[in-house]
Amino acid sequence: MTVKVNRFKCGYCGACVSVCPPGALELIETWIEVDETCTDCGICAKICPVGALEVPK
């Protein structure tokens, strides 16, 4: 499982990328990509200024 990014909420600021321990996130142009190294730790979801990220339960 990987974190889900709501592209309709995301402001593509890259804050989530900076806190991701395995470096699974990447900001490309106006969207966030998540690769398979995501551990579902949820740190990105916590710090997102708009709440655009969600760890699937």
Partner 1 sequence: MKDRYDVIVVGAGPGGSMTAKTAANAGLDVLLIEKRQQIGDPVRCAEGVNKKYLKEYIQPDPAWISAEVKGSKIYAPDGAMVEMSEEIAGAEVGYVLERKVFDRALARDAALAGAEVMVKTRATGLLMEDGFVKGIKAEHMDEKYNIRADIVVGADGVESKVGRWAGIDTTLKPKDICTCAQYLMTDIEIDTDFCEFYVGQKIAPLGYVWVFPKGNNMANVGIGITGHMSGEVRAKELLDDFVLKRYPGGKVIEFIVGGVPICGTIERTVANGLMLVGDAARQSDPVTGGGIFNSMWAGDIAGKVAANAIKHSDVSAEFLQEYETKWRVGLGRDLDMSLVVKERFTRLTDDELNTLGHSLEGIDLGNTTLIGLLWALFKANKKLLWDLRGIFKGIKDLEMESSVEVNS
Contact 1, 24 (CB under 8 A): no
Sign of CA dihedral 29, 30, 35, 41: positive
What residues from 4 to 33 belong to the interface with partner 1 (CB under 8 A)? 11-21, 23, 26-29
Nearest approach in angstroms of CB 46 to partner 1 is 4
Beta bridge partners of 33: 26
Q: Which amino acid is at 3?
A: V
Nearer to partner 1, 6 or 18 (CB): 18
Nearest approach in angstroms of CB 8 to partner 1 is 14
Applying CB under 8 A, which residues contact partner 1?
Answer: 11-21, 23, 26-29, 43, 45-51
